[in-house]
A and B are shown apart, each in its own frame.
Chain A
Amino acid sequence: MKNKLNSILPPVVLVLIYFLIQLLLSKKILNPYHIQILMFACVNIMLTVSLNIVNGFTGQFCIGHAGFMSLGAYGSAIITTMLFGGMKMDPNLRIPVFLLSLLVGGILAAIVGFLIGLPTLKIKGDYLAIVTLAFGEIVRSTLRLIEPIGAARGMIGIPKITNLAWMFFFVMITLYITRNFVYSRYGRASIAIRDNEIAADAMGINTTRYKVIAFVFAAFIAGVAGGLYAHLMTFIQPDSFSFVKSNELLVYLYAGGSGSITGSVLGALVLTIIPEALRFLGNLTNWRIVIYAVILVLIMLYKPSGLFGGKEISFLRINRDSFRKPFNKFNDPKLADKQNS
C-alpha cells in the first residue's frame, strides 16, 4: 500500500505544482520570464542527473558533458528545422516530429557516447577527465566548421515547442528511469566500480562494460535535454555548449551532492535560480555573481559532500535494506547477466 502511494504521489505532486504555477501565472504573480528560468532549471536538472550517473554513481570523471548536450540539440534541431520546415511545419506534425527529434538527438548522443566510451573508459581518473574535456571541445569545434547547420553563427529558426508541461514530463521520466537504473543490478555494479574498481574486477564484474553502459545512458539523457533546450531557445550555437557549460553542470552536481539524485535536482534547481533571483538587488546587481560564488563556497564549507551527499528522498530511493526479498528479486532470470557465456 505504502509502495503504491509512493509511486503515485510524485506525479500527482508534480501535476499539482504545474497547476499552481499556471494559477500564479494567471494572477500575474509569476511572469513568463520566471517560467523561462524554471524551464532552464529543468534542462539543467536532466543534465545534472545524467552527469551524476557517470560521475556520482560510477565514479568516473566526465568534464565534457555539454558535448553530449550539443549533439542532442543539433540532432533534434536538424530534424525539426531542416527536414520538417521548422516554423512552417504542419501543426498536426509538430508534436510527433518534436518527439522523434528528441529521440534522434538522444540516440545520436548515445552513439557518440558509445564510440568515445569504448576506448577511453579503460583510462582512469584524471586522464579520463582530460579525454572527456577534449571530446567536448572536439564536438564544439567540429560544429563550428559545418556550414549547413550555420557553423559558428549557430542555427536559427528552431520552432519553440518546449513548454513547461513537456519539461515537467521529461524531468519526471528522467528521474524515474534514473532511479530504477541506480537501484538495478546495473546500478549496483556501477557503485561497486566507484567504491573499488579492483574488488569489482575480482568479483567478476566486467568493469569496462558497466562503465560504457553508464556513459551511454547518461549521454542519451543529456542528448534529450539538449533537444529540449534547442526547442526552448529557438537558437543554438556551438559556443553555448563549451567547457563553461560542462563546468556549470559539475558545480550543480557537487554542490547538490554527487551520488544523490535528489542532490542533483536540488543543486541544478537552486543554482539556476539563485543568479536570476539576485537580479532584484538593484545597484548591487553587478555583485550577484560574487554573491553566487560566496553561496557556493558556503555550501561546500558547511556541507562538504554537497547538500544531499549520498542521501535520497523517499520517491528517489528503492529500499535496498529489506531482508531476504531483494536477494530473490536480484535473481530474476530476466535480469540475469549473461557474462559467463
Chain B
Amino acid sequence: MAMLEVKDLQVSYGAIAAVRGVSFDLNQGEIIALIGANGAGKSTILRTISGLVKSKSGSIRFADKELTKTPAHKIVALGIAHVPEGRHVFSGLTVLENLKLGATLQNDEARKEENLKRVFSMFPRLEERITQKAGTLSGGEQQMLALGRAIMTDGKLMLLDEPSMGLAPIIVEEIFENILRINKNGTSILLIEQNANLALAVSSRAYVLENGIITIEGDSKELLVDERVKNAYLGA
C-alpha cells in the first residue's frame, strides 16, 4: 500500500488555481520526482502536503491519516520533513541551534544524538561550522544545513523543494549523493527539481506537471528517453 496518496488535489491562491486535480502516490522507500516548469504547481503541492497551504478539495493520505485538515506542526509530528525552496535556514541562530530546532518534536535523546551524528557524517562541513551563525554560511552550506535539519526531524518522508537551486555543480553533486544516502537509510523522498536530468537520474518514478495537472507519468528511466519529456525538459 502506498505510504503517501494524493487524490484529486486542488489548490487555489485566491481566484488563481495553482493545482487542478492532481493524483499521485509514493511507496515506502521510494524516491519520486515531480518535474515541470516554473509555476506548474510543484512547490504548491509540497506546501499543501506539509500543511503550509490549505487545499481547496481532494485528499492527501499519509500512513492512513488525512492531512488536508491537519495543522503544519502536527504533520511534522506524523513524520513528514519539508525542506523548503531557497533553503530557509534560521539566519540568526547557529548551525547547532538550527539542527536542534529540527529535533523540536523528538523526545528520544539517543535517537537525537544518533541523528546528529548522521548529519555530521554526511556533511562534515557543518560540524566544522557548528558555532557559526547560519546566515553567514555559503549557499551550499545552507542547503546542507536545511537537509541536516530535515534529517533531525527524523521523518519517514522527506519533501525536497529544488535542492539544486542556485548551487555550483560540484555542490549539487555532493547534495544529491547525500540525498541518496538519506534514502538508503530508509527515508522516502518526494523530490521537486527543475533540473529534470538530475531528478530522473535519482528517482525511481516521476510525474511531469504542467499548469497544475499531471501530463506524463512513468518510470524515470523511461521518461529519460521519452520524446515529449526530452523536448520540453531535458533540452536534448
Contacts and interface: CB of A to CB of B under 8 A. Distances in A.
B94 A339 contact: no
- Most chain-A CB neighbours within 10 Å: which of B50, B71, B72, B89? B72
A195 B76 contact: no
A192 B104 CA distance: 11
Q: How large is the interface on A (under 10, 10 to 19, 20 to 34, 35 or more residues)?
A: 20 to 34
Nearest to B83: A202
Given A198-B84, A202-B82, A330 B100 contact: yes
Contacts of B77: 204, 339-340
Contacts, number: 101
- Most chain-A CB neighbours within 10 Å: which of B93, B101, B102, B149? B101
Interface stretch (B56-64, B105-113, B195-203): B105-113
B3 interface: no
B89 A202 contact: no
A295 to B, nearest CB: 28
B73 A201 contact: yes
A301 interface: no
A122 to B, nearest CB: 11
Contacts of B82: 202
B117 to A, nearest CB: 11
Contacts of A203: 76, 101-102, 104, 149, 153
Contacts of B131: 320-321, 323
A196 B85 CA distance: 12
Interface in A189-247: 189, 191-192, 194-196, 198-207
Contact of B92 (A191, A204, A323, A336): A191
Contacts of A202: 50, 52, 72, 76, 81-84, 88
Given A204-B153, A339-B105, A191 B90 contact: yes
A339 B173 CA distance: 37
Interface in A244-291: 259
Nearest to B85: A198
Contact of A198 (B81, B88, B94, B102): B88
A327 B117 CA distance: 12
Contacts of B71: 206
Contacts of A207: 73
Interface in B96-127: 96-97, 100-102, 104-105, 107, 109, 112-113, 116
A312 interface: no
A204 B153 CA distance: 8
A188 B107 contact: no
Contact of A195 (B51, B73, B90, B153): B90
A340 B90 CA distance: 22
A198 B50 CA distance: 11
A331 interface: yes
B224 interface: no
A327 B92 contact: no
A337 interface: yes
Identify whether the interface residues of B are mostly helix, strand, loop, or mixed.
Answer: mixed
Contacts of B89: 195-196, 199
A330 B77 CA distance: 18
A326 interface: yes
Contact of B101 (A188, A198, A206, A339): A188
Contacts of B93: 188, 191-192, 195, 320
A194 B102 contact: no
A150 interface: no
Given A204-B73, A206-B73, A323-B130, A199 B104 contact: no
A206 B101 CA distance: 12
A128 B91 CA distance: 23
A157 interface: no
Contacts of B97: 188, 320
A192 B73 contact: no
B96 to A, nearest CB: 7
A323 B131 CA distance: 8
A310 interface: yes
Interchain residue pairs A-B with the least CB separation, the first 8: A204-B76, A199-B88, A321-B131, A195-B90, A202-B82, A340-B77, A201-B72, A204-B105
30 contacts: A188-B101, A191-B90, A191-B93, A192-B90, A194-B92, A195-B89, A196-B88, A196-B90, A199-B88, A201-B50, A201-B52, A201-B72, A202-B81, A202-B83, A203-B101, A203-B102, A203-B149, A205-B101, A206-B71, A207-B73, A310-B92, A320-B94, A321-B94, A323-B96, A327-B113, A328-B109, A333-B107, A337-B104, A339-B73, A340-B77
Given A202-B52, A340-B74, 17 more contacts: A194-B92, A195-B89, A195-B92, A196-B88, A199-B146, A201-B50, A201-B51, A202-B83, A203-B101, A204-B76, A205-B73, A320-B96, A321-B94, A321-B96, A323-B130, A339-B77, A340-B77
Interface of B: 50-52, 71-74, 76-77, 81-84, 88-94, 96-97, 100-102, 104-105, 107, 109, 112-113, 116, 130-131, 146, 149, 153
